Structure 1
Amino acid sequence: MKPTHAVRQYHPLVILFCLTISLGWLLLAQTSSRPLVLATGSAPDATLTVCNNGCQFSSLQAAINAAASNDTILLMDPLLTEPFVTVNKSVTIQGGNGNAILQAGTTPANGSSRVLTISGPVTVSLADLTLRYGQADQGGGIQIDPSATLIGQRIWVTENTASGDPLQGGGIRNQGTLFLYDSHIVANTLKSSTMATGAGLYGDNGSETYLNNTVVNENLSISIQNQVRGSGIHMDGSLTAINCQVSQNHAWGQAGTNLGLGLFVTGEAALSNCEIDNNYNDANSNTPARGGGIFVYGDVSLFRTVVSGHQIGNGGGIVAYWNSSVLTMTESRVTGNRALGNGGGMQIDDGATVHTYRSTFDNNSAAGDGGAIEVKDGVLFFNDSLIDTGISTSQGGGIFVDAAGAAYLSNSTLARNSASDSGGGIYMVAGGNVGLFSVTASENRADSNGDGAGQGGAIYRGGTAGILLLSNSLIYGNDDESPFPYIINAPDCFGVVQSTGYNLIGTRGSNLANPSSPPCQIPDNNNQFGLDPLLGTLAENGGWTATYALGAGSPAINGGDPAGCLDPNSILLTADQRGFLRPDRCDIGAYEFGGYQLWQLHLPLVTH
């Protein structure tokens, strides 16, 4: 059963985390080698040293046992091998001469315990440390107990292994609160005969995890008899990540379906300026996979985040799943992902809801349906966004909407998508629902393999159940590449189309068998047909996403509804896709000719 989450009472250090970011944490990290010190009412009482010769202690555990609250412990040697270390006091542990290695064994195979256990209602700070070669049933590198807080600065958690049933956290298992700054969780392993969750990092239900400038890479989950969930990160609690990278994590499952190879979320996650890329299903895996980058089974927000380079069974980049799951994407990008089944960039299933704002899906592909997005069962609200060069070797190069799905596009562009069969831009199965509000669709292609089987270069509607609605939209310059002599040719749209009027359609297409019944059945009401809108090429014309500009004299200019262009909720669209203001009489499509920006702050989309 899906876990429930009570209203969260955030840890007091959350406030400090946010203030640290706002006041220039990056500058502090670059100019100081000192550990992060959190005020607890008094300065550290003492500094204790640990080394083989000449220090106060030869054992880290002995130093911890002797320490008082707020003391600092320095590891003076570059390498300390010591298993079974438990920290049950609020202390700082730091490499004394730069980075120090703390290991639970001398090789990855002979560690006799996890590296560190953080136990009790304590706040522990770690700095300039590598923690490796831990072995445990849960949390091979670090275990953070429910009442504990760990703050890590410039730490590496690497080459640790967890091998229990059920299995959680090869590198770190967090049941309390975790802050990581400028840190790495790399090359940790889970080995389980049942379900394997979080080879790099596992956050338990009720836990809080905060990552800043942290990398989670190359972690491996192995499940002999079951599935893998979240080879990089599995989050049942809450996750806040800024400037993160989750990359090249991989799964090896032998039953079921591996889910979310980079990140699997059943709780809450907010990612900003992150890269989720090139996570993969291991060649030895006998199970398919869904969600190469992210599997959303809770509430997830992505801000200026890139999901790229995955090749997986379904939902190449992202899967949003479950009827209470919500994914919100803002100024983000899903690019270069491939599905061996459906949904090259993203798959929406089991009643999930997805909102996009000022985001781009480009160069995604699927061997099945939905080169960029498959809405199998759920709702997509696509706002101020772009789908470009989605490729399906079946149906729906841009978007495939199944009978239980709905997609509502507003102030958005469908460009250069292609399907070997029908629906180069959008394919709607009978019973589905699609609404296009101030949308521009151009250069989309159906029947891209030229076998004569496909129609609807921009839009294809199958059957009459459900609703396909156009409002203030521009559908022009698309292609049905069915070879001549064709019976039906439908470059722009195919099927019955409802209209609120004020659309510009290049052509209704042709039907040689019945010339009076064109394949695109859209009423005349205040629509324009066969006129050239004088579109430019797809280009950066301002705003966050590429658009097709209208040329001077275009019939789309001031061709929108005199009462104003409305979104799917009948709310007035006061700006176009780029954020440029629309006047009282808007233009048709996603672009407003002669519009201007009231203001817009453009910060770079940071990638590592």
Structure 2
Amino acid sequence: MLAIFGLVLATGGFARAAGPWYVAPNGADTNSCQLATEPCKTIGGAVDKAASGDTIHISAGTYTESVDTTGKSLTFAGAGEATTILDGSMYLAKTETVSGISLQHSTGIYVESAASVILRDMSIKNSLRGILNFGTIDAANVTISNNRGNLPSGGGVWNLPSGKITMSHVTISGNEAQFNGGGVFNRGKLTMAYAIVSSNVISDTSTNNGGAGIYSTGVLTMTDSIVSSNTSANGGGGITNTGLATIERTAIISNTALRGGGIDSFFESSPTVVLTVTNTTISGNTGSSFGGGIASGLSDVRLTNVTISDNTSSKGAAIAASSSTVRLQNTILASSTPANNCEKDDAFVSQGHNLENGSFCGLVGTGDTLNANPLLGPLGQNGGFSPTRALLAGSPAIDGGANAGCPATDQRGVARPRDGDANGSVLCDIGAYEAVPPAKLLYVPMARR
């Protein structure tokens, strides 16, 4: 007895039972909660019993509560986001994993600065906000939708300066903010791949507000994604960049704003504003007053193998730039009003082999082609994750680019360069799409009996 008493004093009390823990609507928090047949009734009840490193299994059902991990590192495993519903928020402060849950009707997920959180196979919807992040998040197969904020910015996601978020195979749609970032407001570091950012809204018309899809004043890296049908009452229908943004193999399509229908890149407060776009289609966007495809103010824009087509604006259907440096290589600029392709007060820097369907963008680099129809096919799924505009047979963009600086693949992931016109010269195509040469037919005579 003395030995046991001494052990209790040395460890600060009797040892807590180890997990896993179970939660179900028919349970009771007075149960042991360590068997599926004796579950807790609430998630909070299981959290109280758990220790750092434990897993909490949550059965199908609706749980009306808010969850606070109280400084414990825990794994929350729901039965599936279609069946395990949390009507409440989550406060995550340590190393946490959340999967198989649909969170709704709440203030979303709050991630502390010291937290490292993994989100998998879940949704956050119909709440006052989606995610407010000060820490580190790794999210995959997550849907963030129809959140319409109690915060002025970041209806779907607000990533603070200390925040780091990596997202893969996520959908951010139907969210709304008043000022900046209807879908996402990024002030930290945000990396997105295979993301769909669509139908998000910015409602306020104040100067410099915008980024209906994404507003980034930090570091944004986006690859193999789609930014579509977002609407801003002021700037940046698809994306607003006031920091460092790198966009590759992405479609930015059918977004609407007053300025920068597809992308609005401008100096706000960052020392340097750089927008780098490669192997990307920017098509069908509207910037009603300035910059249908891209608007730039006091920023550095670098375009390589980009297709900018059929965008609309009263000034600069393809690109409108003010006090900016715009560099272009292997890029298509085409609109239904060629005389309105570009609006600029400084000459663009052609790095060669661009194609314009007019002659109003001041392209005078080696291999630049003016007043030429690029012969683009309709926007469609031509392979790869995001839609592209194929180069039709006879397009001057086929084998019209430079191999120096040509990306290793096109927007779809097709290897570059190729001999697209089958004339024996292997050259990079202009724009985001690399044409595949037609297959050669082999004639085999019919055998005689």
1:92–1:125 CA contact under 8 A, matched in 2: no
SS at match of 2:241: strand
Q: 1:573 to 1:233 in 2, by over 3 A?
A: closer
Matches for 1:465-480 after TM superposition, within 5 Å: 467-469=348-350, 471-476=352-357
Residue 381 of structure 1 and its aligned partner are, at CA, apart by 1.1
State the Cα deviation string for residues 547-566 of structure 1 (Å, max 9, x = none). 241423x55554445xx342
Secondary structure in 1 matching 2:290: coil
Q: How many residues align?
A: 402
Equivalent residue for 1:395?
Answer: 290
Which moves more between the two structures, 373-382 or 336-345? 373-382
Measure the CA separation in 2 of the matches of 1:275 and 1:77: 29
Partner of 1:411: 305
Structure 1 residues 159 and 559: alpha-carbon distance in aligned structure 2, compared to 1, 3 A threshold: closer
* Structure 2 CA distance for partners of 1:401 and 1:409, relative to 1, 3 Å: same
> Which residue of structure 2 lines up, in the alignment, with residue 96 of structure 1?
37
Seen in structure 2, the aligned counterparts of structure 1 residues 144 and 492 have a Cα distance that, compared at 3 Å, is farther
Distance 1:280 1:548, change over 3 A: same
C-alpha distance in structure 1 between counterparts of 2:410 and 2:288, whole Å: 32
Q: CA–CA distance in 1 between the matches of 2:364 and 2:352?
A: 6
- The answer to whether the aligner puts 1:204 opposite 2:112 as a matched pair is yes
1:70 to 18, 27, 45: 18
- Tell me the CA shift for residue 309 of structure 1: 1.1
The structural deviation recorded for 1:310 is 1.2
Question: Distance in 1 between the 2:153 and 2:351 partners?
Answer: 36
Does the 8 A contact of 2:293 with 2:319 survive in 1? yes
Q: Call closer, same or farther: CA 1:588–1:444 in 2, change over 3 Å.
A: farther
User: Does the C-alpha gap of structure 1 residues 360 and 72 become closer, same or farther in structure 2, counting only changes over 3 Å?
Assistant: closer
Q: 1:118 to 1:296 in 2, by over 3 A?
A: farther
Letter in 2 for 1:69: A
Shift of 1:121: 4.0
Match of 2:4 in 1: none
- 1:118, 1:143 within 8 Å by CA — same for their partners in 2? no
Distance change >3 Å, CA 473–CA 73, structure 1 → 2 = closer
Report the aligned-residue RMSD. Answer: 3.3
Q: 1:330 aligns with which of 223, 230, 236?
A: 223
Specify which structure has the bigger relative contact order, considering alpha-carbon pairs within 8 angstroms and separated by 6 or more residues: 2
Q: CA deviation at 1:173?
A: 0.8
Structure 1 position 173 matched with structure 2 position 91? yes
Deviations 1:477-532 (A, max 9, x none): xxxxxxxxxxxxxx5525xx3533101111xxxxxxxxxxxxxxxxxxxxxxxx55
Matched residue of 2:391: which SS?
strand
Q: What residue number does 2:326 align with?
A: 434
Call closer, same or farther: CA 1:540–1:472 in 2, change over 3 Å: farther
Distance in 2 separating the partners of 1:294 and 1:150: 26
Task: Return the alpha-carbon distance in structure 2 between the equivalents of residues 473 and 443 of structure 1.
Answer: 14
Partners of 1:426 and 1:94 lie apart in 2 by 62
Q: Structure 2 matches for 1:40-79, cutoff 5 A?
A: 68-70=16-18, 78=26
**Correspondences of 1:314-329 after superposition (within 5 Å):** 314-321=210-217, 325-329=218-222
Q: 1:246 to 1:340 in 2, by over 3 A?
A: same
CA-CA distance at 1:293 after TM superposition = 0.6
2:142 to 241, 244, 248: 244
CA separation in 1, counterparts of 2:382 and 2:64?
Answer: 52
Q: Which amino acid aligns with 1:274?
A: V
Query: Given the alignment, which residue of 30, 54, 58 partners 1:123?
Result: 54
Instruction: Return the match for 1:308 from 194, 198, 202.
Output: 198
Give CA deviations for 1:135-173 in whole Å, capped at 9, x if unaligned.
Answer: xxxxxx11123353233333846344xxxxxxxxxx111
- Partner SS for 1:289: coil
> Unpaired segments of 5 or more residues in structure 2?
1-12, 205-209, 268-272, 419-424, 440-449
Question: 1:410 is aligned with what amino acid?
Answer: T
Residue 86 of structure 2 is aligned with which of 158, 173, 184? 158
Q: Is the 8 A contact 1:144 1:150 kept in 2?
A: no
3-state SS of 1:397 partner: coil
In structure 2, the partner of 1:374 is 264
1:271 is the counterpart of 2:167: yes
Query: What residue number does 1:502 align with?
Result: 367
Report % sequence identity: 21
Structure 1 residue 354 corresponds to structure 2 residue 294: no
Q: Displacement of 1:70 after TM fit?
A: 2.7
- List alignment gaps of at least 5 residues for structure 1: 1-64, 86-90, 105-113, 135-140, 161-170, 189-198, 221-230, 282-287, 447-455, 477-490, 507-530, 567-571, 598-608
Q: TM-score, normalised by structure 1?
A: 0.60
Shift of 1:317: 0.7
Asked if 1:581 corresponds to 2:423, the answer is no
TM-score by length of structure 2 reads 0.79
Verify the 8 A CA contact 2:43 2:58 in the aligned structure 1.
Answer: no
**Hey, what does 1:47 align to over in structure 2?**
none
How far apart are the structure 2 equivalents of 1:132 and 1:541? Answer: 43
Residue of structure 1 equivalent to 2:181: 291
CA separation of 1:415 and 1:81: change in aligned 2, threshold 3 A: same
Q: Is the 8 A contact 1:470 1:499 kept in 2?
A: no
The answer to whether the Cα contact below 8 Å between 1:119 and 1:145 also exists between their aligned partners in 2 is: no
Contact 2:292 2:319 (8 Å CA) reproduced: yes
Distance between the aligned counterparts of 1:409 and 1:392, measured in 2? 19
Distance in 1 (CA, whole Å) between partners of 2:98 and 2:417 is 44
Distance 1:294 1:535 in 2: 32
User: Deviations along 1:244-298, whole A, 9 cap, x unmatched?
Assistant: 1111112145xxxx111111113111111111111124xxxxxx32101111111
Distance apart, 1:301 and its partner CA: 1.3
SS of alignment partner, residue 42 of structure 2: strand
Please state if 1:345 is matched with 2:241.
no
Distance 2:276 2:172 in 1: 22
Q: Distance in 2 between matches of 1:536 and 1:129?
A: 47
The question of whether the paired residues in 2 share the 8 Å contact of 1:132 and 1:157 is answered with: yes
